Structure 1
Amino acid sequence: MIGDPVVVLPEVEYRRVWDRFYEDFSFRPSTNPSKWPAIEEPITSVTWSLAALDDDPGDERLDRLVVVVEQGLSACVGQSGTLFALDWQHTSYRFAPQDVGGPGQPAWPLSPYPDGDYFIYLAEDFRFGGFGHPWEGSLCLFGEGLLNVAATEVDKVLGPPIRRSGKAVGPA
């Protein structure tokens, strides 16, 4: 990526990306549990509850979750790719994962953990990413490549998933 590793999406692109996200994922923002999940979760997706982080006063599990998801996204995008980091109704970004988060580099924009609003990471072509739902308290990762590199480790941090391919998973 030429220039800054993190750039704010200009208004026209912001609207284009969000319009496509609403369309492609049937995004229905709501605090009402009867309307969850807020997206049509892709066939190749896994969704976990974030409740396991509630009893982690030292934030060790949260830190591990962030590392696992960031490493997975970085692996999927490659050495020269970029991702979108979308914060619903707030500033959103395009960034180069390989150029953020390290010593002397800017921090990753947003987090896999939805801190009060929907946080979304998306590949430029929308084929993989993550969707953090703040009111359901869930994280959905999608895309075969991302799931292949991250799902096992996310299971270790958050426990078994609550949905696969948008369908509820029964007790183990």
Structure 2
Amino acid sequence: MVTKAYRELTGDEKEVWDYFSKVFDFRPSMHRFPAIFEPVPSVTWSLSSLDDEPGDDRLDGLVRVLHAGFTTLVGEGSILCLDWQHPSYRVWPSLIGPENIGRPGWPLSPYPDGDYFIYLAEDLRFGTLGHPWELSLCAFGSDLLNLVEADLHDTLGKVIRRDGRQEAA
């Protein structure tokens, strides 16, 4: 039996958006930030210093760090990759990439390129939200932050909020 690395959410699975919206009080806006109730613990970084073009080493580092963190945390299990207003996916990180050896890549990047991109543990205990208009990335959950916070801070630098509270300038 061939197992796919990811598959599109269909039917009742799409209810994950309703559940996510309810739990995190998701309120999309181009002007009001943050877009979710940022849980404790969480850290939100500015993405304004990154170039979303291929070849930006910091962007590649961001993606690599988060994908490795998710892969470590779920082992053989799956996570959800949600793309607001577009198809969303259940992803088995252990079956992902590298693409150059014939394995599929991730269906979404954690970097928001015009829409909210959300990576989410199926039990909602950790994840990320990429905000396209604030140009920010919120990582939440102690398990995920323990794995990625130091590397993300080195890559992204500027913290906007911690545990949902504005950081001092």
Within the candidate set 74, 77, 83, 2:79 is matched to 83
The equivalences for 1:21-170 within 5 A come to: 21-32=20-31, 35-54=32-51, 58-78=55-75, 80-102=76-98, 103-170=101-168
- Percent sequence identity is 54
Alpha-carbon distance between aligned partners in 2 of 1:50 and 1:90, rounded to the nearest angstrom: 22
Please list every run of 5 or more consecutive structure 2 residues that lacks an aligned counterpart in the other structure. none
**What's the offset of the Cα at 1:101?**
2.0
Task: Provide closer, same or farther for how the CA distance between residues 55 and 66 of structure 1 changes in structure 2, counting only shifts above 3 A.
Answer: closer
Give the equivalent residue in structure 1 for 2:10.
10
Alpha-carbon distance between aligned partners in 2 of 1:82 and 1:66, rounded to the nearest angstrom: 17
**What's the offset of the Cα at 1:3?**
2.8
Alpha-carbon distance between aligned partners in 2 of 1:31 and 1:75, rounded to the nearest angstrom: 33
**What's the offset of the Cα at 1:50?**
0.2
Please list every run of 5 or more consecutive structure 1 residues that lacks an aligned counterpart in the other structure. none
Give the 3-state SS of the residue equivalent to 1:51 in structure 2: coil
**What's the offset of the Cα at 1:76?**
1.2
One-letter identity of the residue aligned with 1:104: G
Give the 3-state SS of the residue equivalent to 1:120 in structure 2: strand
Give the 3-state SS of the residue equivalent to 1:52 in structure 2: coil
Alpha-carbon distance between aligned partners in 1 of 2:142 and 2:21, rounded to the nearest angstrom: 21
Once superposed, which parts of structure 1, at least 4 consecutive aligned residues long, lie more than 2 Å away? 54-58
Give the 3-state SS of the residue equivalent to 2:71 in structure 1: helix
Alpha-carbon distance between aligned partners in 1 of 2:139 and 2:94, rounded to the nearest angstrom: 20
Q: CA RMSD in A?
A: 1.6
Matched residue count: 166
Alpha-carbon distance between aligned partners in 2 of 1:131 and 1:112, rounded to the nearest angstrom: 8
TM-score after normalising by structure 2 = 0.93
One-letter identity of the residue aligned with 2:113: D
One-letter identity of the residue aligned with 1:132: G
Alpha-carbon distance between aligned partners in 2 of 1:25 and 1:74, rounded to the nearest angstrom: 23
Q: Is the 8 A contact 2:80 2:88 kept in 1?
A: yes
1:49-90 per-residue CA deviation (whole Å, 9 max, x = no partner) reads 001214989411111111011111111112x11000000011
